[in-house]
């Protein structure tokens, strides 16, 4: 005996492979299971909505996502357990995340135990159960019992559920099953009127006109459920009726859960991009007055960023005129740049060493480099001390 696992895959944008987990967290293992609840007090009927919500977050590249969603009704796999869902903070890399119905009943716990047993068989070891609040500051998993999950898993391991018990003979009278909720839960009547029924009936005709009428929109605290197994119908009952065994209750379809706000998951901080470093030529780039030069030799136009001939290629001829309005230094070489290139952000230029300030036929006057020579500080200090001594000696002679 076992269960079928529904598969509704989450987008790859919402989980890590083992290799990606090792890179991001610095570790990867399947050592445990983190127990979650979806926290709004709803029952198994909300199962598919939770799957859509989690997978929708994953498709947007956001947490939370989950490996499994589990309720009294079924089990859904969203992220293969070998992969890492974004569900448990620091526990992501080493545990499998299972999101469960907050009002989990006996059948739900049985399913949870079966799933734990299947995962322990898959990985060949006992998987430790962690509450979500072990990894993060949160109320999750609320009232879900990790002890009961472990007890159910051990029953499956010992084979207590195999073979399945024989199907009981249908009772001749109404068969009522009582199920206590994990905690008292607020519901609201959704019909006008909403009837309170005596549900201890073997036929629908036996219900009559009901016990009492309630207006639509009335809030009622529900303590448990009375299930008429003969008619396959479920009724919600108050604490008084549940504890006294009084079969007066509301048809489950006539009541709506008062929805509590869904807690927002903690955002995953975006990585801080590194501060870009400017290249040397850009740090040294500056605007200067237009200066007319002539080439002392044939010269290629140079891409200053690479130090190689520019693309498309351009060659200047000896004695050709060149007007520069900017300069920079890169790799120890000073370059002059035209006004057009400077304003367009096309930083191609020619080495200053290939230029002269004098027209063809006039003796060459090379340009003065714009980068000042390095000054020896010790020599400057010695010069100043000598100058002070000379002045002092001169004043002494005047006084003598």
Q: What is the pLDDT of residues 273-301, one digit of tens each?
A: 777 788 888 888 888 888 899 999 999 99
Angle at CA 246, nearest 5°, toward 190 and 101? 55
Which whole-number Å values give the CA distances from 263 to 39, 66, 306, 343, in the listed order?
Answer: 8, 16, 54, 54
Residues in the chain: 400
Reading the block at residue 212, the tokens are: 């009492």
Residue 90 binned pLDDT confidence (cut-offs 50, 70, 90): very high
What mean pLDDT is reported for the chain? Answer: 89
- The whole-angstrom separation of Cα 292 and Cα 371 is 19
| Pairing of β 194-198 and β 299-300 | unpaired
- Which among 36, 145, 136 is positioned nearest to 89, based on CA atoms? 136
Q: Tokens representing 218?
A: 């009335």
Local structure of residue 108 (DSSP, 8 states): H
Strand pairing of 68-70 and 75-77? antiparallel
220/47 Cα distance (integer angstroms): 23
Q: How confident is the model at residue 171 (pLDDT cuts 50, 70, 90)?
A: very low
- Please state the φ and ψ torsions of residue 347, each to the nearest 5 degrees: -90, 70
- The model carries a pTM of 0.44
CATH code that applies to domain 5-158: 3.40.80.10
Cβ-based neighbour number of residue 320 at 10 Å: 13
Q: Considering only 14-18, 115-119, 127-131, 160-164, which range has the smallest mean pLDDT?
A: 160-164
> What is the C-alpha to C-alpha distance for residues 320 and 122, in angstroms, rounded to an integer?
80
Mean pLDDT for 232-256 is 93
Split at pLDDT 50, 70, 90, the class of 13 is very high
Helices 146-158, 106-123: crossing angle, 10 deg rounding: 60
Structure tokens at 9: 């895959």
Say how many CA atoms lie within 13 Å of 288 toward its Cβ: 19
Q: Name the H helices within 60-145.
A: 106-123
Q: What distance lies between CA 289 and its chain's CA centroid?
A: 53
């Amino acid at each position: 005996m076992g269960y079928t696992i529904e598969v509704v895959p989450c987008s790859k944008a919402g989980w890590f492979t083992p290799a990606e987990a090792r890179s991001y967290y610095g570790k990867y293992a399947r050592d445990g299971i983190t127990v979650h609840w979806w926290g709004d007090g709803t029952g198994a009927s909300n199962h598919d909505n939770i799957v859509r919500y989690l997978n929708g977050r994953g498709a947007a590249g956001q947490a939370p996502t989950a490996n499994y969603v589990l309720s009294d009704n079924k089990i859904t796999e969203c992220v293969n357990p070998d992969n890492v869902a974004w569900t448990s903070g620091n526990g992501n890399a080493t545990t499998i995340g299972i999101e469960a119905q907050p009002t989990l009943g006996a059948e739900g716990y049985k399913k949870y135990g079966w799933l734990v047993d299947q995962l322990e068989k898959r990985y060949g070891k006992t998987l430790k159960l962690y509450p979500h609040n072990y990894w993060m500051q949160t109320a999750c998993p609320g009232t879900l019992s990790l002890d009961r999950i472990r007890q159910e898993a051990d029953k499956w391991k010992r084979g207590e559920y195999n073979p399945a018990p024989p199907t009981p003979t249908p009772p001749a009278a109404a068969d009522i099953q009582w199920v206590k909720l994990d905690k008292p839960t607020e519901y609201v009547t959704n019909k006008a009127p909403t009837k309170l029924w005596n549900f201890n009936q073997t036929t629908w005709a036996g219900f009559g006109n009901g016990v009492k009428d309630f207006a639509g929109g009335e809030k009622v605290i529900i303590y448990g459920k009375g299930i008429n197994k003969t008619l396959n119908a479920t009724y919600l009952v108050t604490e008084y009726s549940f504890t006294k065994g009084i079969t007066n209750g509301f048809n489950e379809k006539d009541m709506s859960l008062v929805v509590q706000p869904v807690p927002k998951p903690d955002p995953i901080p975006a990585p801080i991009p590194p501060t870009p470093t400017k290249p040397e030529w850009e740090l040294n780039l500056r605007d200067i007055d237009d200066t007319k030069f002539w080439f002392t030799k044939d010269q290629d136009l140079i891409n200053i960023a690479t130090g190689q001939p520019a693309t498309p290629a351009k060659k200047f001829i000896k004695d050709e005129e060149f007007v520069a309005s900017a300069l920079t230094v890169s790799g120890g070489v000073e370059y002059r740049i035209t006004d057009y290139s400077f304003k367009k952000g096309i930083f191609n230029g020619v080495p200053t060493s290939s230029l002269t300030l004098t027209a063809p036929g006039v003796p060459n006057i090379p340009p003065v480099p714009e980068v000042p020579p390095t000054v020896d500080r010790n020599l400057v200090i010695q010069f100043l001390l000598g100058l002070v001594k000379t002045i002092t000696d001169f004043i002494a002679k005047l006084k003598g």
